[in-house]
Amino acid sequence: MRIIGMDIHRVAAEVVSLLDGEIVKLGRVQMLRDKLEEFARKELTHDDHVVVEATGNAAAVAEVLSPYVDRIVIANPKQVHMIAHAKVKTDMIDATVLAKLYASGFLPEVWAPDPETLALRRQVTRRTQLVRQRSRLKNLIQSILPAHLIPPCPHGNLVGISGRKWLARQILPADERAAIERHLGLINQVNEALTVVEADIAVHALQDPTIRRLMTLPGLDVTVAASVAAAIGDIRRFSDPQRLVACLGLNPSVRQSGEGPAYHGRITKQGRGHVRGMLVEAAWAAARSPGPLRAFYKRIASRRGKHIAAVATALRLFQPASQDCGRRLGERGAAFLAPFANDAQVGARAEEQIVALETSDLR
């Protein structure tokens, strides 16, 4: 078996091969679909294993090369410390390190999502970018008002119907008025694009039973549920529910050595940050509604503060989804599903991590 290491960038990739301990330089390949296919036909065989780092174009590279090789492996760049902390660093050395780590079995791999999950992730990312762009435009409008001694808008939404009527009545210089009108026009365009993206996400949600199941959790609307489903992908890739929670970075970090006690710290914040943020926002919404989650939030907030309570509530909120992970694993999940047999035991198992969050310096 020959191992192909590729250090890919936006423009080109450095390629080396490893066979029987011998490194052979295969040159540079341009990051164009036709160039990659030409390289694959000339240099690759169906027995090769190709190793690349997870980058913005890694999924596209894997899609192009997968018909020509036996396997495509995508490495986790955060865990490949030999590359990140190397004193001598070139593209050829990085490609060689990837090949050698894979050959020795020490390469930290990442899960490669299927095309449907990739498409949903792209749409969720587009929605996040549009919402941030709209917020930036709103902030620009807000920054104009205090400079001319205008009080805050009495309406909840500055760019809503009532907010725009209120803006039109304010006394502003001509150039500031023109700037606000331009910002409002851009917000209209962003809202139109956001409507299209959210409609596409809603259509996908109607066809996805996982998203519909997630929407039964308190505080999770279609957008949050779709974001969580896109981040999780195939739930069967997790060997137990705790790994599912760790994928979203909501589990507390642990430090333990020798016979000493374990010290719990802040949450790990691994995985997709905007999904974790949406779960925390869902926890805030659940804390405002009557029910057990609100009581749990108030209990934690009285001792640890509101922000720590919100993160702990997000972890508590996600426990049913973790439980569902085991159910969908079938017989393989029977061993670890025993602690999740009923609601009381689910709460007891969740309480272990909640206590760790309460005793940690969580932010």
pLDDT in tens, 196-228: 999 999 999 989 988 888 888 888 889 999 999
In this structure, the answer to whether residues 183 and 140 fall within a common structural domain is yes
User: Quick one: pLDDT at residue 322?
Assistant: 60
User: Quick one: pLDDT at residue 18?
Assistant: 94
In this structure, the answer to whether residues 232 and 352 fall within a common structural domain is yes
Domain membership flag for residue 329: yes
Among residues of the chain, what percentage have pLDDT more than 90? 53
CA geometry: angle at 123 spanning 118 and 126, to 5°? 125
Alpha carbons 363 and 356: distance in angstroms, whole number: 13
The average pLDDT across 30-46 equals 94
In this structure, the answer to whether residues 129 and 89 fall within a common structural domain is no
- 53 with 8: CB under 8 angstroms? yes
The average pLDDT across 117-141 equals 95
Alpha carbons 155 and 164: distance in angstroms, whole number: 10
- CB count within 10 Å of CB 130 equals 20
Alpha carbons 127 and 119: distance in angstroms, whole number: 12
Domain membership flag for residue 37: yes
DSSP string, 318-361: HHHHHHHHHHHTGGGGHHHHGGGSSHHHHHHHHHHHHHHHHHS-
Asked if the model's pLDDT at residue 359 lies above 90, the reply is no
User: Quick one: pLDDT at residue 343?
Assistant: 39
Residue keyed to tokens 């939404």 = 157
Domain membership flag for residue 99: yes
In this structure, the answer to whether residues 9 and 76 fall within a common structural domain is yes
18-55 burial, b for 16+ CB within 10 Å, e for fewer? beeeeeeebeebebeeeebeebbeeebeeebbbbbbbb
Domain membership flag for residue 16: yes
Query: How many CA atoms are closer than 13 Å to the CA of 320, on its beta-carbon side?
Result: 12
In this structure, the answer to whether residues 245 and 266 fall within a common structural domain is yes
Q: How confident is the model at residue 58 (pLDDT cuts 50, 70, 90)?
A: very high
DSSP string, 291-314: SHHHHHHHHHHHHH-HHHHHHHHH
Total domain count, the chain: 3
Alpha carbons 31 and 91: distance in angstroms, whole number: 15
The average pLDDT across 277-291 equals 89
- 259 with 246: CB under 8 angstroms? no
Q: Which of 104, 126, 146 is the last residue of a domain?
A: 104
CA geometry: angle at 133 spanning 130 and 136, to 5°? 155
Strand partners, 50: 4, 72
Q: How confident is the model at residue 269 (pLDDT cuts 50, 70, 90)?
A: confident
- CATH no. for residue 19? 3.30.420.40
Asked if the model's pLDDT at residue 335 lies above 50, the reply is no
Amino acid identity for residue 78 in this structure: K
User: Quick one: pLDDT at residue 230?
Assistant: 92
- Average pLDDT across the chain, whole number: 85
In this structure, the answer to whether residues 157 and 120 fall within a common structural domain is yes
In this structure, the answer to whether residues 151 and 235 fall within a common structural domain is no
What separation in angstroms does the CA of 295 have from each of 159, 202, 290?
Answer: 35, 31, 8
Q: How far apart are the first and last CA of the chain?
A: 47
Alpha carbons 13 and 38: distance in angstroms, whole number: 14
In this structure, the answer to whether residues 94 and 148 fall within a common structural domain is no
Alpha carbons 84 and 97: distance in angstroms, whole number: 11
The average pLDDT across 304-326 equals 79
Asked if the model's pLDDT at residue 270 lies above 80, the reply is yes
Q: Which of 104, 139, 165 is the last residue of a domain?
A: 104
| 38-42, 255-259, 310-314, range with greatest mean pLDDT | 38-42
Asked if the model's pLDDT at residue 333 lies above 50, the reply is no
Domain membership flag for residue 151: yes
The average pLDDT across 333-341 equals 36
Q: What domain range is 160 assigned to?
A: 115-207
User: Quick one: pLDDT at residue 363?
Assistant: 47
> Backbone phi, then psi, for 125, in 5-degree steps?
-65, -40
